[in-house]
Structure 1
């Protein structure tokens, strides 16, 4: 198991499966009433078609809500997410995307959410300030297995609120970023240099086809 003993297993979204298929993902259909599934590395995105956006997630190594981030395993009537990828791993999707690099979680109070994460056993691996999201923000980074959790919140104490933590977006990985963005046509932006040295990133216009969370795709970590 990864550094802190956690692994992001499942993210459940209310998106229609065809929204993800329109971006070149393979969305597996399962018998009703189960959700369709998009497998990315050791994490599965479940798509319920409810229209409710982010519905919850599940972590190996922790059970229970984390400052507003609902845990699928404890929601009444909602089964646990899959325990991991199929045997042999998960191949790239038709669009070339193969994994999740990081999940962005937004909070009204970084210190409050960080305290909850720390109590759960997650260790902050770094912190910095950024204006990438507009106003000055604080960023903290945690490992959820092979996925990074990027926590963002107000950098100005006067802007701190009681808003709970919520999933803000996903950054994905493609071994061939130019091929991936090319396959999406007008639904992907032009790749540009990422903050991480040696990597590039492009935005994905997923909302135009019904994806509820902001998406981006990155080149892999330099080898």
Structure 2
């Protein structure tokens, strides 16, 4: 069975997300495309996730993980223009260990890309979880102890310029994304009271 993302658990209170243009249901769940974002719970950042297609519950490389059999939700309409989750970034202190942990639950890397972060070499390893891309990021030649963590989320928006205008100076200028033909803006998430690093990206370019 294919492993897909059912739900991301995020510590932020619902009213913060509502103020950022997300529609949140009375149970504090935000339906973004076919992914649920469950808000609240204390702390900061992305607290864990639930995945379909797993055999058992349990942490994946230190990330709290719950097995889910839930059907995909009906997408909600969001005032900020968000239509889906493009990708989730996972920070790994040990890339080989993390890739092995993901492989143990049935996920295989689709591609890799070498880059730099803060002047240091970095490798990105990409996995596909249904509609969501998982981008695993870490130093290519370093293996440290400690758990991996879910670090940030990039959302697809219908109109990147309209979304950037909505957020005004709480978003960085729109620029070309790494993906050819797409454009992206990064939110100043702390200015919005959000604890998760957040970006907005234009829709994928459909091949002819």
After the TM superposition, which residues 86-125 of structure 1 pair with which residues of structure 2 at under 5 Å, given as runs? 86=74, 90-125=75-110
Number of residues paired by the alignment?
204
The SS at the match of 1:131 is strand
Q: What's 1:64 paired with?
A: 58
- The whole-number CA distance in structure 2 between the counterparts of 1:218 and 1:81 is 29
| Aligned counterparts of 2:6 and 2:117: Cα–Cα separation in 1 | 28
Which structure features the higher share of strand residues?
2
| C-alpha contact 1:10 1:82 (8 A) present in aligned 2 | no
TM-score (norm. length: structure 2): 0.92
Query: Over residues 29-67 of structure 1, what are the superposed CA-to-partner deviations in whole Å (9 max), with x where a residue is unaligned?
Result: 22xxxxx11111110111015134322100101132110
Equivalent residue number for residue 147 of structure 1: 132
Q: Which runs of 5+ in 1 are unaligned?
A: 31-35, 74-79
Distance across 1 between alignment mates of 2:35 and 2:118: 26
Asked if 1 retains the 8 angstrom alpha-carbon contact of 2:52 and 2:70, the reply is no
Deviation at 1:141, TM superposition (A): 0.4
Q: Is the contact made by 2:23 and 2:76 (CA closer than 8 Å) also made in structure 1? A: no
Cα offset, 1:17, TM superposition: 1.0
Residues 82 and 43 (structure 1), Cα distance of their counterparts in 2 relative to 1, 3 Å cut: same
Instruction: Indicate whether 1:6 and 2:23 are aligned.
Output: no
Distance 2:7 2:120 in 1: 30
User: Whole-Å Cα distance in 1 between the matches of residues 93 and 7 of structure 2?
Assistant: 24
Distance 1:7 1:133 in 2: 32
Runs in 1 of length 4+ with deviation above 4 angstroms? none
Q: What is the TM-score normalised by the length of structure 1? A: 0.86
Partners of 1:12 and 1:52 in 2: how far apart? 10
1:48 maps to which residue?
Answer: 40
